[in-house]
């Protein structure tokens, strides 16, 4: 788990910092329009029952085959992508990477790969909806990203008690112990460069204060940073034209009672699965019938809501905003229009309530709602500076990843680095943490400093591997097969001799 590795790299652990992880079981309940549901779990016995219910005995064997392929996608991606920087096209020419390129299935979609293992439409949907977490349609996302389902099915979903912000607070404490000083509520207006424009010298705050620095690392939205914190350039303009991930209407609800029909993680899939994704990713619209995610943190963490009540988070994926040029001749969410967001939010809320009640048997959710916060594509853009309101940064299509994705180091300005969803290697907390490590290594390299973390080992630092634990390569053929082969060769020799 990448979060655990990050804390170990910092010389500590989640446990030592007081962060307690709790396993969510099941991973998800997936709810369908026909009233059926599917329970995703790390428990192999439970998964066997669930898969065989819809695809028979052979279906479970195919499920194991899907896991095997997704496992390869995960392991190759970790070793050859997440832990490597791709600074140019030549970076992709590494033999170690090229020999793994085809097994990653980058030119097939997640949906097409899943269809080889799952023969019912129901299970194809169950094992492909995770592409939403990359901000992509399962019909467009490269097959490589089946690794998302694999990590959840193999390692589980873990929730930090007190919410994810406890992890952030722990990282802040570690930084403070190491001498880091945090300046909060200090908006940055620009990155300051030397007279040549080729070296970062520090930053300027909106208050007018200048802060000099030996190195500048930007963790703001990368497209926003290039277009607002740095001098205009053809590259910054080109970034705005790149395909972006989706946006969302997100609800944060306080309920005056518990909703027992909902588990910790719930996915509600649209009846017209492909059409709902096309509305989001091809037309940049709010689907009339969306697939959406419902999280009930108070189901696993009692501290997330008062006794007898629930806190609920709902994420409804929608298209990102379109600027004037993108919107010409296209339907979509116009970035400059005075849209009636109140009306759109109200419609999305009604759809969520109606769908949850119809499929789970829950009742009068509107009546249980006592407090609400909302984010829309417009607020994601205005409050969080996310370009086009795209909540997961740039898209992860093939020509938006690896050497084609914006680099962790500025191509022409020295001592200026980037980290975050739109920089290499991509979006999501574990992947961004991997990118943060790559960026840190680049910074240290620039100053001729050694990395303070090691490569790790199978048994741990300083431990001796016992003979019984040594990994031995299995013979290609067992002694029995070797003996049989020898016998066949001898017999073949006799036959040849007598003929």
Integer Cα distance of 293 and 27 in angstroms: 13
Q: What is the 3-state secondary structure (H, E, C) of the chain?
A: CHHHHHHHHCCCCCCCCCCCEEEECCCEEEECCCCCEEEECCCHHHHHHHHHHHHHHHHHHHHHHHHHHHHHHHHHHHHHHHCCCCCCHHHHHCHHHHHHHHHHCCCCEHHHHHHHHCCCHHHHHHCCHHHHHHCCCCCCCEHHHHHHHHHHHHHCEEEECCCCHHHHHHHHHHHHHCCCCCCCCCCEEEEEECCCCCEEEEEEECCCCEEECCCEEECCCHHHHHHHCCCCCHHHHHHHHCCECCEEEEEEEEECCCCCCCCCEEEECCCCHHHHHHHHHCCCCCCCCCCEEEECHHHCCHHHCCCCCEEEEEEEEECCEECHHHHCCCCCEECCCCCCHHHHHHHHHHHHHHHHHHHHCCCCHHHHEEEEEEECHHHHHHHHCCHHHCCCCECCCHHHCHHHCCCCECCCCECEEECCCCCCCCCCHHHHHHHHHHHHHHHHHHCCCCCCCCCCCCCCCCCCCCHHHCCCCCCCCCHHHHHHHHHHHHHHHHHHHHC
Q: Which of 202, 148, 216, 226 is nearest to 422 (CA)?
A: 226
Q: Give the chain's end-to-end CA distance (angstroms, integer).
A: 64
pLDDT at residue 24, rounded to an integer: 95
- Here the tokens at position 321 are 């905003």
- Residue ranges in the chain whose pLDDT is less than 70: 324-340, 454-464, 473-481, 499
pLDDT at residue 269, rounded to an integer: 96
Polymer length of the chain: 499
How many Cα atoms within 13 Å fall on the side-chain side of residue 211?
16
pLDDT at residue 343, rounded to an integer: 86
CB distance 419 to 394 below 8 Å: no
Neighbours of 199 (CB within 10 A): 13
pLDDT at residue 191, rounded to an integer: 97
- Please tell me the pTM assigned to this model: 0.86
Neighbours of 11 (CB within 10 A): 12
Chain CA centroid to CA 270, Å: 22
**Residue bearing tokens 């920089």:** 423
User: Tens of pLDDT along 177-231?
Assistant: 999 999 999 999 999 999 999 999 999 999 999 999 999 999 999 999 999 999 9
Integer Cα distance of 440 and 427 in angstroms: 17
pLDDT at residue 460, rounded to an integer: 46
pLDDT at residue 331, rounded to an integer: 52
Cβ partners under 8 Å of residue 422, min gap 6: 221, 222, 223, 393, 394, 405, 406
pLDDT at residue 135, rounded to an integer: 82
CB distance 258 to 279 below 8 Å: no
Integer Cα distance of 309 and 214 in angstroms: 50
* Cα separations in angstroms, 264 against 23, 70, 142: 11, 25, 28
pLDDT at residue 328, rounded to an integer: 45
């Amino acid at each position: 788990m990448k979060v655990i590795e990050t804390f170990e790299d910092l010389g500590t652990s989640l446990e030592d910092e007081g962060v307690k992880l709790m396993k969510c079981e099941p991973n998800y309940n997936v709810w369908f329009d026909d009233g059926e549901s599917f329970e995703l779990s790390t428990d192999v016995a439970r998964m066997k029952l669930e898969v065989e219910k819809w695809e028979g005995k052979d279906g479970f064997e195919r499920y194991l085959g899907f896991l095997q392929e997704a496992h390869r996608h995960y392991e190759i991606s970790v070793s050859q992508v997440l832990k490597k920087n791709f600074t140019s096209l030549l970076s992709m020419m590494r033999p170690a990477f090229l020999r793994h390129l085809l097994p990653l299935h980058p030119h097939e979609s997640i949906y097409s790969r899943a269809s080889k293992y799952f023969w019912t439409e129901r299970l194809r949907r169950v094992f492909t909806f995770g592409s939403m977490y990359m901000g992509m349609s399962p019909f467009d996302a490269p097959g490589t990203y089946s690794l998302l389902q694999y990590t959840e099915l193999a390692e589980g979903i873990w929730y930090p008690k007190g919410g994810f912000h406890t992890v952030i607070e722990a990282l802040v404490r570690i930084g403070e112990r190491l001498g880091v000083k945090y300046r909060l509520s200090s908006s940055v207006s620009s990155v300051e460069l030397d007279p040549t424009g080729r070296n970062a010298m520090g930053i300027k705050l909106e208050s007018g204060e200048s802060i000099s620095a030996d190195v500048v690392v930007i963790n703001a939205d990368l497209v926003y940073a290039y277009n607002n914190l740095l001098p205009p350039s053809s590259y910054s303009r080109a970034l705005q034209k790149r395909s972006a991930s989706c946006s969302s209407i997100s609800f944060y609800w306080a309920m005056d009672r518990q909703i027992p029909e909902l588990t910790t993680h719930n996915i509600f899939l649209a009846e017209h699965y492909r059409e709902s994704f096309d509305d989001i990713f091809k037309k940049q619209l709010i689907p009339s019938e969306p697939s959406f995610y419902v999280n009930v943190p108070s189901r696993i963490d009692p501290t997330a809501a008062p006794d007898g009540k629930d806190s609920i988070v709902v994420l409804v994926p929608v298209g990102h905003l379109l600027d004037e040029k993108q919107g010409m001749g296209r339907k979509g969410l116009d970035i400059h229009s005075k849209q009636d967001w109140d009306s759109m939010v109200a419609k999305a809320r009604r759809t969520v309530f109606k769908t949850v009640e119809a499929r789970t048997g829950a009742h009068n959710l509107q009546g249980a709602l006592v407090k609400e916060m909302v984010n829309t594509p417009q607020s994601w853009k205005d409050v969080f500076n996310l370009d086009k309101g795209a909540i997961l940064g740039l898209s992860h299509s093939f020509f938006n990843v690896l050497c084609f994705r914006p680099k962790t180091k500025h191509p022409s300005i020295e001592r200026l680095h980037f980290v975050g969803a739109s920089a290499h290697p991509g979006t999501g907390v574990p992947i961004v943490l991997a990118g943060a490590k790559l960026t840190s290594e680049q910074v240290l390299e620039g100053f001729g400093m050694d990395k303070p973390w090691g490569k790790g080992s199978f048994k741990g630092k300083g431990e001796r591997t016992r003979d019984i634990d040594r990994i031995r390569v299995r013979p290609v053929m067992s002694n029995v097969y070797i003996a049989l082969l020898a016998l066949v060769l001898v017999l073949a020799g006799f036959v040849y001799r007598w003929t």
